[in-house]
Structure formats: structure tokens, C-alpha cells
Structure 1
Amino acid sequence: MEGSAATLTRKERRQVTEHSRLSALTVFSIIRREGEEELRRPSSSLWWSGIAAGVGISSSVYAQALLYDSFAGHPHRALIASLGYTVGFVLVILSRLQLFTENTLSVVLPMLSEPSWRRLARSGRLWGIVLTANLIGTALTAFVVLTVTRGTEAGYSSHIIAMLDVSQHAAEASGMIALVKGIPAGFFIAALVWMLPSSKGFELWVIMLFTGLIAAGEFTHVIAGSTEMFLLVVDGRMGIVQAFADHLVPTFAGNVIGGTGLFAMLAYGQIHAEI
């Protein structure tokens, strides 16, 4: 190989490099570096980025409801509507906003490679800030959407009714079911984060593929799902305690198990001997 490489021109060697796949160790190093940068960010930056992500991810529920309403009566209505679920994730991930489930991988890798109490505390700080900010963002969005539309003489539009219908369907997964369905969602989001460094030029399709799969499989995502639960709370269909106890807390646990307990550990396991 070394002899054949020596016969290549400089341009040809550059083309070989550009078309080479990133190794697992390289991907790990990229994500670990990004995680370390996130851990060093000021709390105020994490907070406002998390709020924006909570508001942005709510567009997933709205876009899903638009398609759900438009394809009423279609035999594949739910599957088509799942494409709308990808919108908020595209917005949040490509805008580099702080989404909690992304951090179940990126923030954990630095701690796995160099474990310390300090890193654990900083990871806990970031998780606490981002998760709280995300939930406040989705709660504010749900409150504003329903409060503004409720004040109109015509009542809720068909799109808002569709949002409530989609949310009501999502609420059918509760307790242990929500937890179990949260595990694949956490795994897919972590896998998505892992693949992004190797997806130059195709980031949009990778995001749409895996987040659309979450919706199509009716898996549960704690942040996007919080928009749905808060819509039901504001509309009076569900109590706030029930929303957290039956839906958000179990989903949170499932997402962490899938993202950190499964994918992060497996990703680290394949490269720890090479570090």
C-alpha cells in the first residue's frame, strides 16, 4: 500500500483522504471535543439555548399535526404525519441549540474517557440546566399556542385540534410503557449524534431518517413529548402531576437508558482499547 501510495499525485492523495471514512476513534474524538466545549459553556448560554430548543422542538408537534389534519381519512395518515415530526429536530440540531437528549451522548463521552468527580458535577450541571430550560420552552409554547387561539371567536382551528389529537394519542403511552418506548428513542438520538460527523452534506437526511423513525414507531421523546403533555395540561385534559409522573419522568428514564446506558457505553466500548 505504501508503494502504491507513493505513485499517486498530490491531488490524488488528497482525493483518497477526502473519500476515506472516519474511523470510530476519530468520531469519538470529535464528539468528545464537542462535549468538552459544551461543559465549559457559561450557565446563561446553556439556559437560553435550552429555552430556544424547547420552543423550536415544539414545531415538530405542529408540523406533525398539519400533516395529520391534511391527510384525514388516508389509510397511512399516521405514517405520513410522522414526517412532520422531523421538523423540530432539524431546526434544533442544525441550529446547534441545546437539546437534552443529544447530551446523553456528547457530554457523557468526556466523562467515560477521563472519569472524575469534577466532570460528573459539570455534566450534572449541564443536564439540569438544559433539561429544565427545554421543558420551560415547551411549556411556554403550549401555553401561548392554546391561550392565543382560545381567545378567538371561532375557537380552535383544525390545526390546533389536530395538535391536541396527536397529543392525546401520545398520552396513551404511560408509566412502564412510556419508559420502554423511550429506550429506542434515546438510542436513535445518540446514534444520530454519532453519525453526524460522518454525514457531511447529508445531515438533513440523517436527522429526518432517525427522528421520523421515532415518530413512526411511536417511541417516546421526553422533550418533544413534553410539548404534547403540556398542551393537554393547558387544555385541561390532564393534570400537571399526572403529566410528569405518568409520562415525562418515565420517558426521561427511558431516553437516558437508551442514549447513555446503551449507545454511549457501546460506542465507548468499541474504542476504549485504542485511546
Structure 2
Amino acid sequence: MSLPNQSSVDGPEGAKRTDQARSGAPSGGKAVGDRFSTDEIFQRVVATADEEVDSVTMKLYLSGLAAGFAITLTFFLYATLRAALPNDTTGLFTPLLYPLGFVYIIMGRYQLYTENTLTPVTLVLTRVASIPALLRVWVSVLAGNFSGALIGTFVLAHTGVFSVAASGAAVNIGLEGIQTPWWDLVFKAMFAGWLVAGLVWMEHAVRDSVSRVVLIYLVIYAIPATGLYHIVVSSADVFYLVFTGNVAVATGLWEFVVPVLLGNTIGGVFLVTLINYGQTANRFPEGEGPRTRLSISDWLFSLRVSKPKE
């Protein structure tokens, strides 16, 4: 995920209107320079979404792969710290390093599935991108995320990177997830999806890197600290259990990955994207030309994306 490149507008005319990025999205608020309205945030999200749906499938996959590798870092750090702090009965200290992989992903502009429950969905809701185009983004990114987590956990399971204690902690984390009732996982993951999609929304409302890092850290820390589940981290948990012989592939996928994927998707799409879409009116950057809404048949069955007219 990447934010639109910004450029300032000079001169008296520029002083009276909102600064705009090259995409046409606002890089400053109209009413207050360092605060964006809901419409302005939505326009910045749309600019990011345009870049994502325009990306070729291989680029999306490779960016998702990089994100999957970064999630392996989160998995590794979380298990290592949990092993080092066996008496942390509150569960507030073991997640301290958990957000680091997400900082790499979001600041490095890699593609993460849960982020994409917001950005490209905005184009589908406005009917300028089709549902199949959205699914292409989702499948490409999720395949990359899973591949990165698979490779990363394979290395951890077959080398001496993990200490014995950390390996045991990683196994216990995964088993705790699988032993959680199916629908409990869905609802826990729904709240996590809400957090991550909300993070992406808020990230489009800030203008500097320090604020972004603090925001990422606090929101992502809340996921393990409150016992919630993120699909890519959960997939790493399952892959590690499979590689260490603690669970069968089918069991891990059905009992853990599927409910978490479902919950994250519901949380991101319904609790963030649809709600924020409903409270906006001017959804496209002022600096771009008009767009033609797709026909219902194209919206449902084609891979088309409507572009601004010059």
C-alpha cells in the first residue's frame, strides 16, 4: 500500500485551495491545513486504491511476498519474547515487539491482505472498479502473504534460529488458536480486521512518518494484547505447527485459517469501509476528471476499472 505523492501549490491561488498530490488527492486539509475531512481522507484512499488495482498481478504477489516475510519477523519476535517472559500473566509485555513486522510492511509500502479490505474496496463501492478486479488484488496479495509466511516458518522450523524455548512458545501460540472455538475465532478476527482497516484509514489522515509509526505500533499492539487474530500471522502459526508435526494441514486450515480470514474480511469491509463510504459525499479528488461508472454486468463479471477522463 502506498500513499499518493504530494506536491505543494504556490501563489495566491494555491493559498486559497487545498494542496494536491500529483494524483489529485489532497495533501492538506481545506478547512484546516493539517487536518483532513472525511471526504478528503476518502479521496486519499481512492488515490492509493487506483495505484493498487493498476498493478500487475506479479507485482502484487511479490509485494505480498515481502509482507509475508515481514510477518515472519512478527511471528519470530512474539514467540521469542513469550519464551523470555514466561511469568507475564497479564499478556501485556510479550506483544511489545509484535508490531515490528507491520511497521516494516506499512512504512515499506508492501501489500498486506487486511489493508486491502479498505483501499480497493472503495473503488468497487463507487462502481469504478469491478468485483473481479477486487478479487484479483485480494487473491494475488493473499497468495504472496501466505507464501512469505510459509517460507519464513519453514526456515524457522528447520534451522536453529529459534531457541528450544521459543520453538515451544510458537507451538503453544498456534495450538491455542486452533483450540479456540470456530465462531469465537471469527469474531476475534473481525475485531482485528476492524483495527487494521481502521489503521489504514487513519494512516491516510496523517502527514508525517513519526505519527504513522506511533499509530501503527499502538493499533497493531492491541491485536495480541487483547487476544485477537490476524490472518497472515495466524497462517504463520499454522505453517509452523505443520512443519513441526503438531497438526495436519487440513485441520490447521479449517480450524484456524478459514475463520480468521472470514473474520478479518468482515471486520475490514463492513465495520470500516462501508461505514466510511456511507458518510462521504465527494469521493474523488477534485483535481481529476470525471469517471464513468461501470455497467452492472461489467461491475459483476469483467476486470474493468474506470479511469478519470482527461
From 134, 159, 182, the counterpart of 1:175: 182
Q: Is the 8 A contact 1:47 1:133 kept in 2?
A: yes
Residue 266 (structure 1) shift: 0.4
Q: Which residue does the alignment assign to 1:216?
A: 225
Q: Which residue does the alignment assign to 1:134?
A: 145
Amino acid in structure 2 at the alignment position of 1:142: T
- 1:16, 1:245 → 2: CA distance? 45
Q: Which residue does the alignment assign to 1:62?
A: 76
Residue 162 (structure 1) shift: 2.4
Q: Go from structure 1 to structure 2 and tell me whether the alpha carbon gap of 1:229 and 1:159 turns closer, same or farther (over 3 Å shift).
A: same
Q: Which residue does the alignment assign to 1:49?
A: 63
Q: Is the 8 A contact 2:29 2:37 kept in 1?
A: no
From 108, 119, 123, the counterpart of 2:121: 108
Q: TM-score, normalized by length of structure 1?
A: 0.86
Q: Is the 8 A contact 1:174 1:247 kept in 2?
A: no
Q: Which runs of 5+ in 2 are unaligned?
A: 1-14, 20-27, 285-310
Q: Which runs of 5+ in 1 are unaligned?
A: 1-9
Residue 250 (str. 1) matches residue 264 (str. 2):
no
Q: Is the 8 A contact 2:103 2:217 kept in 1?
A: yes
Q: TM-score, normalized by length of structure 2?
A: 0.77
Q: Which residue does the alignment assign to 1:124?
A: 135
- 1:273, 1:25 → 2: CA distance? 6
Amino acid in structure 1 at the alignment position of 2:226: G
Q: Which residue does the alignment assign to 1:238?
A: 247
1:95-154 alpha-carbon deviations (Å, 9 max, x no partner): 1111000000011011112x15x522211101011111111111111111111239xxxx
Residue 88 (str. 1) matches residue 94 (str. 2):
no
Residue 184 (structure 1) shift: 0.4
Residue 42 (structure 1) shift: 1.0
- 1:84, 1:187 → 2: CA distance? 21
- 1:194, 1:112 → 2: CA distance? 16
Q: Which residue does the alignment assign to 2:198?
A: 191
Residue 61 (structure 1) shift: 1.4
Residue 164 (str. 1) matches residue 171 (str. 2):
yes
Runs of 4+ in 1 over 6 A off after TM superposition: 14-18
Q: Is the 8 A contact 2:42 2:283 kept in 1?
A: no
Higher helix share: 1
